[in-house]
Structure 1
Amino acid sequence: MTIAVLGAGRLGSVLTRALRAAGYDVSGPLRREERIPDVDLAILCVPDAAIGDAAASARPHATRIAHVSGATGLDGVDLSIHPLQTFTGTEPPEVFHGIGAAIDGRTEADLALAERLATSLGMNAFRVDDAHRAGYHAAASFASNFVLAVLDAAEELANDVGVERAHLVPLVQRTVENWAASGAAPVLTGPIARGDARTLARQRAAVDEHAPHLNDLFDDLVNATRALASRTPATTAITTGGAESTVSEGNDV
């Protein structure tokens, strides 16, 4: 099967290398001004807003057209393959191995082609139809883009008190590992999980002092974390120095 990859951005670049490594005959990644060859499949690695125009340009040259958007439906294309991963564009072809891929197709043959391509790159394919694309992509944004916004806020506050990003990394990594193994509610720790209103108030005052532009984000995350805490396992009462206190099970921060 001959393939043309349209779009030389992060995903277009690494996808082209991976497809070649998997044995496909690939042209590209092609930039907007480059001629599109006649191929069996054109894969559009372009911004969502440009998919319609790119599909129209590719249609005379391709038997089938695919896009790699997570949020966009099948308007103008025959199939879609969205690698559920973040890319810099410099990764080796093996970056696709073991990741998820949301696929869809207009016909059973289109869907089968999407699954075959995803599998040949080492991805685990699952179907997400047009009606659920926006919700699926919102989940991906929470898992990646919004996480980076929260981590950037953490880094800003840490830097202000002389703590480097590297010192936060093990905490972030362990948190993700715990979530991957058990989900969020069972592994939640911290002042909200243990009902420590005094510490939470001190945190809020520190944010207001050092980074007041983060106040709204802090308040929203506190509310979301309180809702999560309501689903956590029961806490354990322990006695220390003759006084009983209640703490969440497990290590805390």
Structure 2
Amino acid sequence: MASALNLIGAGHVGRVFGRLFAQHGVFQIGQVLTRSQDSARQAVDFIGAGIAVGAYDQLQAAAVHVLAVGDDQIVPACEALARAVPLDGSIVFHCSGALASDKLQAARDAGALVASVHPIRSFADPAAVAAQFAGTFCGIEGDAGALAVLMPALQAIGAQPVPIDAAAKTVYHAAAVFASNYLVTVLDAALRAYQAAGIPEAVARQLAQPLATESMANVFRLGAAAALSGPIARGDLATVARQQQAVSQWDADTGALYQALVAPTTALALRKQQK
């Protein structure tokens, strides 16, 4: 029989993990604890297994405990779990991308092995994610004994575990911000700059799309240094200076963004020349 797993917090990530672990027979879902009995019952319905409970003192011992709660709740949830359930010899892991497993010190002090497992994708539609989870990368770090259990468990549900340095967890999480959020910000600057030149917004998107998609495709195919093009890559600093001045005169904040990108782009161009 599969080892028992308790789920504390059952938002989108927790529900998906619960459903996949249950469907693949990796773990036997035990108790599901959320902020309310009603949401716990909804989570159990989504997972298709488990027992909804309304308080920590209703939890039973389990081989694995998942803290799928918000970042600000990880420490208090872990402390509450350690007070309520014997943890000696069990595994406790959280799903935060920004915090390391050292936030689970209360569980470690109680004899548990701890880890973090961060699935790298959007969970806006849990049902769709659960149906298409295969191939999802998960950043993992923590105690070796915990990872020895969790890595094959994740692989069994189709995940691709990627070990990361716990000391660099915040930088790791910032990587997703650069690859997603800040990429959108830079593209917004491009679209607004086109519009400042008199181009309608819809047409601006059509102009920017091939440049953006081809550049991203080249980055993922060749690497960032090889994909770099433009005036800095050519060493045309006079053009860069004129653009900096013009953009700053048009919009000071966007000019500051342009200026902030000059130094790292120059360093990237140097890496390209050295290859």
TM-score by length of 1: 0.75
Q: Deviations over 1:50-93 (max 9, x none)?
A: 21111122333474321012332323252221223344344421
SS in 2 for 1:152: helix
- 1:55 and 2:78 aligned: yes
Larger mean Cα displacement after TM superposition, 11-20 or 116-125: 11-20
- 1:74 and 2:101 aligned: yes
Q: Any gaps of 5 or more consecutive residues in structure 2?
A: 38-53, 108-113
The structural deviation recorded for 1:212 is 2.1
TM-score by length of 2: 0.70
Letter in 2 for 1:57: A
> Partner residue of 1:104?
141
The aligned runs of 1:25-174 (5 Å cut-off) are 25-26=28-29, 30-34=33-37, 35=54, 37-38=59-60, 39-59=62-82, 60-61=84-85, 63-75=90-102, 76=104, 77=107, 78-90=114-126, 91-108=128-145, 110-160=146-196, 161-164=199-202, 166-167=205-206, 168-174=208-214
Normalized per residue, the structure richer in helix is 2
- 1:217 and 2:257 aligned: yes
SS in 2 for 1:230: helix
Counterparts in 2 of 1:44 and 1:172: CA distance versus 1, 3 Å:
farther
Partner Cα distance (2:28, 2:214) in 1: 41
Counterparts in 2 of 1:210 and 1:29: CA distance versus 1, 3 Å:
farther
Percent identity reads: 32
> Partner residue of 1:237?
none
SS in 2 for 1:103: strand
SS in 2 for 1:96: coil
Partner Cα distance (1:180, 1:74) in 2: 30
Q: Any gaps of 5 or more consecutive residues in structure 1?
A: 235-253
Q: What is the root-mean-square deviation in Å for CA atoms of aligned residues?
A: 3.0
Larger mean Cα displacement after TM superposition, 47-56 or 122-131: 122-131
The aligned runs of 1:6-17 (5 Å cut-off) are 6-17=8-19
Note if contact 1:207-1:214 (Cα within 8 Å) is conserved in structure 2: yes
> Partner residue of 1:5?
7
> Partner residue of 1:175?
215
